Amino acid sequence: MTLFGRERESRRLAGFVTSARRGGGALVVRGEAGIGKSALLRQALAAAGDEGLLVLSAAGTEAEARLPFAGLHQLIRPVLGRAADLPGPQREAVLTAFGMAHGAAPDLFLIALAVLNLLGEAAAESGALLVVEDAHWLDAPSADALTFVARRLGSDPIVLLAAMREGYAGPFDTGLEQLRLERLDDAAAAALVDARAPGLPAGLRRQLLDEAAGNPLALVELPIDTRELGTGALTARLEEAFAARVSGLPGPAQALLLVAAVNDGDALAEAMDAAAVVIGGAVTVHDLTPAIAAGLVDLDRASIRFRHPLMRSAIQQRATPAERLAAHAALADAVRGQGDRWVWHRAGASHAPDDAVADDLEQAATDAQRRGAVVPAVAALQRSGQLTVDPVRRTDRLLRAAELAVELGRHDIVGALLQEVATGSLSFVQQARRLWVQSSFGDGLRDQKTGPAALAEVAARLARHDDGLRLAMRLLTSAALRCFFSGADADAVRRVVEVTESLPVAADHPERLTILAFAAPVERGSVVIDGLRGFAAHAGAEAQTLRQLGAAATVVGAFDLAELCSTASVPDLRAQGRLGSLTRALAAMAWYAAVQGDLSAGVPAAEEAGRLALETSQPLYHGIAGAAAAVLAALGGQADRAAALADETERRGVVAAVRPVLAMVQLARGRGALADGRYADAYGELCRMHEPADPAFHAGLRCTALIDLVEAAAHSGHRDEVCAVVADLEAAGRRSSSPALHAGLRYARAVLADDDHAEALFRAALAGETGRWVFSRARIQLAYGQWLRRQRRTVASRAPLRAARSAFDALGAAPWAERAGQELRAAGETSRARPATGRAELTPQELQIAQLAAQGMTNREIGQALYLSHRTVSTHLHNIFPKLGITARAQLPPIVGDLTDW
């Protein structure tokens, strides 16, 4: 089949399809309505048949968008029998999503991993083509799951083609290759008209070409009677043309087309049953003959399909509201007993509040949540609220929908829902719930209604209400996060702390510790650390709680506890598919690893956190991961990469006014300048973290970067200036037992001391460091060795310098290792170069896979942990071994180490 003017696109799709057996990929075909997306997909399907590929297809419809996982089920239904071979958690997740099992609510990404593995096994021998038409109308869970799969097809013999109409946003927009279809040029458009309507009079031919303006569907479908040509938007003109065809059809055909247009399925029997109710008489398949002759629909066995989506929308628009209501009512009778479909058609038939339908929609929302489909649950609750008679129950349902939308991070849905909540008749608790929803978005500092102090006041009142404690804690958590990420004045922070400490919860309650850590990391640092140590003594904490406590430990500088909690949370978060929470845990790990100088743990954590943050729509944590990656790049001597990452992250952070991200950017720039030996520049960059008027100032994070500032000051003539900062942090150290802060203070006391007191302070600093603080200990050893050499105690200087060089080498901190080597050479000792291992050649993801393989995990186990197919893992290992100069997995541990608990 030749498509006029699409030769280049046809060749590209043919090559894309035939590449399936060599390795997978995804391509999104985009363009306006009628531009030829479906025609190109039909060509791809024919090419797949010629290649002997397994072909799986699905099509989104506007009516089906409310039904959870409808599109995904349609796509993989032919291979769903293979689900029995999936690992237990994945099998249960995908079957629960499709309503075929009754397990615990699965995470969307665990469902997506199950689909990835299911497709991988089904396509192993023949290869596969997945085709999704009208992907912009897929239900949200299906679209998210398929986008997740599409990003991971690189090593599987699977290619995915998705067609999307221009002007629609969705998950397929990000991270996938796009093919945009433009309108046909004049020559191709003329050739198409001449082929489809030969002998058309010249004037009419010119008029048709002008009006169609290169749109293939318009060239074929617009009426060629001059009396019907007109003006207006092309899509509207096409819909008018299709609607005009309907108006001339017999009544039974019109009824069949209307119920088919509003239906969320394509079963012919359903359409006939519903049409019979609409017209009050019998309907047969022969009644569709005029519609088929008019080119509106096709029959495929037991299905009725519109020739183009615009035909469906045209038929709905030409119908009156009463006719659409009647069609939905008839369909509700036709699909009675079919769960969500029945409920939604009853809702479509409701023109006034109806508590019975509203109650059923609320139950549909509960069922959708249980199946891991939150977006459909929000839609069901919203419609339930709209149909609820009692205003109090109506508000409760709308607020529940908004609260779920907050969890999704969907600003657009939240805003629309809040507009439906009538503010005048809210109870105090409902007002507090609305406030919490509002506080989850926007700038809580500029908006006094959702600022930290205002949130704390409402929380204090809530705590006196029966069952108000849980909501009070949520409000205080929002307040604390605003204090931490955007800054707050001392009075607001003090009020958040007072209210939190007045609540009737245990001193080591995880949420209480988290609020105090983020609101007042210095002022309540010791309280938080003591509580964390007490909580850590208890076994069996849930993964989400451990993740939360790991974040709290990170911000107060208790990196040993942060590592304990975060790494303990990761395996369960991976197994449960909770990638949103996993992103946050990995971001915390990247953060403390960057400060501690741990490249082995930090680089893969930052890479994965950044990648998952994009997939889970968490821009804040993408910024945190990017800032941590910049610090780690500087540590490893990758100056250009560090600068590029810092610049990109700063742009994101400035827009969002996220102080911790901006502070981490300054740490990256300062550490990069230290690595280059540009001490004055380093001091200038790092000072910004300590100047209250600077956007990069952060009272908590500056406590973790003192060693860098003092090192820069000591080598650039700023010793006197930095003493004021150290004195300020000495006062903070009397309020907080933060190990990171006290490590910095020990270093500062020794490096800034006069010669009479320096040695005792160096020895005290080294005695205070434990084996867990390798980077800071090595920096003390380097500074001590340098001081000894300046005192002409050359022989004595060699031991600390040798220890520092070895530690820096082990960490991969090349600039500091080189500096220690230079000092050793100046002390008269030959500094042997560390043998190259090839580890620096690995990408962050390759390093992570190598570490997991070194731990003894199989390819399938690694794939399940990292949400990749086992073939992708195999491909990575195939690339890793030559880079490291090895031939077997047993050779990995001494080169890359392992990554326990990942």
Encoded tokens for 858: 């199989």
Distance CA 222, CA 593 (A): 63
CA–CA gap between residue 242 and residue 314 (Å, rounded):
6
Rg of the chain taking only CA atoms, in angstroms: 32
C-beta separation of 581 from 544 below 8 A:
yes
- Among residues 532, 535, 516, the alpha carbon closest in space to that of 524 is found at 516
Segments of the chain with pLDDT less than 50:
226-231, 443-446, 448, 898-902
Sign of the dihedral defined by the CA atoms of residues 272, 275, 280, 283, in that order: negative
Q: Are 285 and 270 in contact (CB under 8 A)?
A: no
The total of other beta-carbon atoms located within 10 Å of residue 813's CB is 28
Angle of helix 619-635 relative to helix 579-596, nearest 10 degrees, comes to: 30
For the stretch 23-67, pLDDT in tens is 899 999 999 999 999 999 999 999 999 999 999 999 998 888 889
Relative to beta strand 158-165, strand 177-180 is unpaired
CB-based burial label for 169 (10 Å; 0-12, 13-18, 19+): exposed
> Counting Cβ atoms within 10 Å, is residue 448 exposed (0-12), middle (13-18) or buried (19+)?
exposed
H helix or E strand, kind and range, residue 54: strand 54-59
Encoding tokens for residue 366?
Answer: 């509960």
CA atoms in the 13 A half-sphere facing the CB of 449: 11
pLDDT number for residue 336: 92
Find the helix packing angle between 543-555 and 510-519, rounded to 10°: 30
Q: What is the pLDDT of residues 450-465, one digit of tens each?
A: 789 999 999 999 988 8
Distance linking the first and last C-alpha atoms of the chain: 51
Q: Output the CA–CA distances (angstroms, integers) from residue 537 to 159, 531, 540, in the order listed.
A: 49, 10, 10
Whole-angstrom Cα distance, residue 223 to residue 217? 11
Encoding tokens for residue 465? 């209400």
| Cα–Cα nearest to 600, from 898, 400, 332 | 898
**CA dihedral sign of residues 797, 802, 804, 808:** positive
Specify the length of the chain in residues. Answer: 902
- Which tokens is 388 given? 């609820």
Q: 733 CB contacts (<8 Å, ≥6 apart)?
A: 741, 742, 745
**Helix 559-576, helix 543-555: angle, nearest 10:** 150
Tokens for 297, please give them. Answer: 């629909």
Which of 272-281's residues contact partners 24+ apart within 8 Å by CB, and which partners?
273/330, 273/333, 273/334, 274/327, 274/330, 274/331, 274/333, 274/334, 275/330, 277/329, 277/330, 277/333, 277/334, 278/326, 278/327, 278/330, 279/251, 279/252, 279/255, 281/252
What's the token pair of residue 427?
């109870």
Pick the closest to residue 690 from 714, 717, 708 (CA basis). Answer: 708
167 burial class (0-12, 13-18, 19+ CB within 10 angstroms)? Answer: exposed
Full-model pTM: 0.86
Given a contact cutoff of 8 angstroms between Cβ atoms, the answer to whether 261 and 316 are in contact is: yes
One-letter amino acid at 749 equals: R
> What is the H or E stretch that residue 45 is in?
helix 37-51
Amino acid found at 604: P
**SS3 for 498-565, per residue?**
HHHHHCCCCCCCHHHHHHHHHHCCCCCHHHHHHHHHHHHCCCCCCHHHHHHHHHHHHHCCCHHHHHHH
Q: Are 666 and 628 in contact (CB under 8 A)?
A: no
Q: Give the list of residues 6+ apart from residue 677 with CB closer than 8 angstroms, or none.
A: 815, 819
pLDDT for position 445 = 35
Residue 601 neighbours by CB under 8 Å, 6+ apart: 589, 593, 899
| Residues 840, 854: Cα–Cα separation, whole Å | 17
Supply φ then ψ for residue 179, to 5 degrees. -120, 110
Name beta bridge partners: 132. Answer: 58, 162
Contacts of 595 (CB under 8 A, 6+ apart): 559, 631, 667, 704, 705, 740
- Asked if 147 and 71 count as a contact pair (C-beta separation under 8 A), the reply is no
Please enumerate in sequence order all residues whose Cβ is within 8 A of that of 314, keeping only pairs 6 or more positions apart, or say none: 238, 239, 240, 242, 243, 246
Whole-number pLDDT of residue 835? 58
Report the 3 state secondary structure along 201-269: CHHHHHHHHHHHCCCHHHHHHCCCCCCCCCCCCHHHHHHHHHHHHHHCCCHHHHHHHHHHHHCCCCEHH
Phi-psi label, residue 859: left if phi above 0, alpha if psi -120 to 50, beta otherwise? alpha
Predicted pLDDT at 897: 65
Distance CA 571, CA 221 (A): 56
Q: Which single residue is written with the structure tokens 């100069």?
A: 885
Other C-beta atoms closer than 10 Å to the C-beta of 279 total 16
Q: What is the pLDDT of residue 753?
A: 95
Q: Please classify residue 888 by burial: count the beta carbons closer than 10 Å to its beta carbon, then call 0-12 exposed, 13-18 middle and 19+ buried.
A: exposed
Cα–Cα distance measured from residue 748 to residue 745, given in angstroms and rounded to the nearest whole number: 5
Q: Buried (b) or exposed (e) across 36-64, using 16+ Cβ within 10 A?
A: bbbbbbebbbebbeebebbbbbbbbbbbb
Handedness of CA 692, 695, 696, 699 (dihedral sign): positive
Q: Which SS3 state, helix, strand or coil, does residue 617 take?
A: coil
Using CA atoms, how far residue 217 sits from 8, 36, 788, in Å, is 19, 7, 82
How many helices and strands (H and E) does the chain possess? 45, 7
Which alpha helices (DSSP H) does 676-738 contain, by range? 679-687, 706-714, 719-735
